[in-house]
Amino acid sequence: MPSRCKVRNWSDYNKGLCKRGSINLYLSEKILLKWKNAPKGRGRRSYSDSVIEMCWAIRVLYRFPFRATQGFLESLFNSLGYKNWVIPDYTTICRRGKSLSLKLPVSIDRSQPIEILVDASGVRIHQGPQRKRFERRRDPDALEKRSEHEGWRKVHLGINSDTLEIMSIHCSDSSVGDGQRMKDILDDIPRVKRVIADGGYDSGTSYQAIYDKGAEPVIPPRVNAASQKGKKGHLLARDKNIEWIKERTNLPDPKKAWKVAHGYHVRSRVENTFFRFKKSFGNNFLSDGDDNIATETLMRAVLLNKFIQVASPVSDII
């Protein structure tokens, strides 16, 4: 029977959930100061990256198109009494977003080794009839060449199992395998002691990346997986898992017993993160184009980390 949990800090958690929608969470005095002192000239006004980052935060949070983002900010600043301030136009927000450098806000000391939960999921991209007609004009066989999954991108996550903060996020084409991005995720995190992932990461590429990081892999072997018998060093942990399961064939479900013994089920937390990722910002990307899709992906992670820092439930099993 599944365990039930009770939230112990409901009062504070409820206040934090309301605070997530506060505009002050995204529009700080520091940003306003940089905005006010933006250099003026005959050409384009120079806005700092923090100003453009705030514009993207508003766009992603409220799921605005670029023009609506500009209109919202203009009306907001007018209502606050900043009528003479110049808002970045929608073309500037779009253009600067392609090269915007974002940093994930985390509440822990990055020098400490942590346990990482890794997973991947698809997010749809918009491909309307106009784009399809354009592709057909460029290449009559384009629709036949495109796979049935061409209309989505794969998002790869690595989260801290304790704080649930996103430590690394990457976006790739739908054809990229889960294990192929394991190295990229681990490279973003200074120290890792344990990596938990599902059977989709049961590959030599994943084990090699975890082995090079000096971490312990917790990945369930595939059905009928064969041991390498110590021929490859990075697969020794996998061989031990296979042998562990084979030695307990007398149990009703040896693999389930392995998962319980190795704490594998904590991986459900990264699945919950993907649920929040799509529930908060939608199943579709707003952006069109790889650069802006990458920026939107990272901005979603930045906002989710801010959400969890502002409001995080503390619960007990009952």
Residues 248-299 have pLDDT tens digits of 888 899 999 999 999 999 999 999 999 999 999 999 999 888 899 999 999 9
Check residue 4 and give its pLDDT: 77
Check residue 37 and give its pLDDT: 56
Check residue 300 and give its pLDDT: 96
Give the closest residue to 112 by CA, choosing from 182, 194, 212, 192: 192
All residues at 6 or more sequence positions from 304 whose CB lies less than 8 Å from its CB, including other chains: 166, 273, 276, 277, 280
Give the closest residue to 164 by CA, choosing from 218, 201, 113, 114: 114
Higher pLDDT, 33 or 18: 18
The rounded distance, in Å, linking the Cα atoms of 34 and 195 is: 40
Residue 17 has pLDDT above 60, yes or no: yes
Give the closest residue to 273 by CA, choosing from 132, 121, 73, 123: 121
Q: What angle do CA 22, 26, 29 make, to 5 degrees?
A: 105
b/e burial code for range 89-111 (CB count within 10 A of at least 16 → b): bbebbbbbbeebebebebeeeee
Higher pLDDT, 126 or 47: 47
H helices of 37-150, in order, are 49-62, 66-79, 90-97, 129-138, 142-145
Residue 94 has pLDDT above 90, yes or no: yes
Summarize pLDDT for 150-185 with one digit per residue, the tens: 588 999 999 999 999 999 999 998 889 899 999 999
Of the listed ranges 13-27, 102-116, 117-131, 171-185, the least confidently predicted one is 117-131
The secondary structure of residue 199, as a DSSP letter, is G
Q: What angle do CA 294, 164, 118 make, to 5 degrees?
A: 60
SS3 114: strand
**Structure tokens, 26:** 């995204």
Q: Could you give the percent of the chain with pLDDT greater than 90?
A: 57
The rounded distance, in Å, linking the Cα atoms of 31 and 48 is: 9
Average pLDDT on 39-56 reads 77
Residue 140 has pLDDT above 90, yes or no: no
Q: If you search the block for the tokens 């920026």, which residue do you land on?
A: 295
Q: Are 254 and 95 in contact (CB under 8 A)?
A: no
Residue 314 has pLDDT above 90, yes or no: no
Q: If you search the block for the tokens 């979603």, which residue do you land on?
A: 300
The rounded distance, in Å, linking the Cα atoms of 155 and 59 is: 19
Check residue 184 and give its pLDDT: 95
Check residue 87 and give its pLDDT: 87
Q: Could you give the percent of the chain with pLDDT greater than 70?
A: 87
Which residues is 5 bridged to in the sheet? Answer: 317
- pTM score: 0.86
Distances (CA, A) of 185 to 57, 104, 192, 245: 23, 13, 11, 28
Q: Are 32 and 73 in contact (CB under 8 A)?
A: no
The rounded distance, in Å, linking the Cα atoms of 220 and 197 is: 8
Give the closest residue to 158 by CA, choosing from 119, 102, 184: 119
The rounded distance, in Å, linking the Cα atoms of 208 and 214 is: 10
SS3 36: helix
The rounded distance, in Å, linking the Cα atoms of 308 and 8 is: 16
Average pLDDT, the chain: 86
The rounded distance, in Å, linking the Cα atoms of 119 and 275 is: 12
